[in-house]
Amino acid sequence: MAKRSSNRKRGKRSTGLTIRETVRVAPPRPQTITVRAAAPVAPRKPKGGRRRQHKSGGGGMMSQLGEPAIAGVVLGWINKNQPTFPTIAVLGRAGTLAVAAYYLRAHIPFASKLAPAFAAIAGYEYMMEGKIAGDDVMGVASQV
């Protein structure tokens, strides 16, 4: 009996030909080197020494003396020309105007400057006379 080759056991046949393929790849292109300058950077703001804004204080003569004077003029005109001005019972006319100016400050910007002046006048009237000016009926301001 003839000896079997090892290729038969595996089911392969040798053809005796060897194929070699050479794959040619283009050589890499030389890359051009470009040198770029860095982008300009915005200068940083200095950390200290900034100016601070103050809402209180300062201002001219109008803010210091004029606005309280205008509140006094308005209250005097109301006392003279409006004898039946509606008031809040405990506060009187000046206190009522102070509360009204405080609540109207969002809609009328000038009212926020008049509210402290009306409150100061109400405090003055209370300390000077022992009551806040207004129509008194049995110790309570009348409501019209």
pLDDT digits (tens, 9 = 90+) for 58-78: 667 766 778 888 888 888 888
Q: What is the mean pLDDT of residues 80-91?
A: 83
- Count other Cβ atoms within 10 Å, centred on residue 63: 12
**Predicted pLDDT at 144:** 47
Tell me what the mean pLDDT of segment 24-37 comes to.
85
Task: Say if 40 falls within a structural domain.
Answer: no
Pairwise pLDDT comparison (6 vs 29), residue with the higher score: 29
The verdict on residue 43 lying in a domain is no
Query: Could you tell me which residue, 95 or 5, shows the higher pLDDT?
Result: 95
Domain with 114 in it: 62-141
Identify the CA nearest to 141 among candidates 97, 93, 108, 100. 93
Number of structural domains the chain divides into: 1
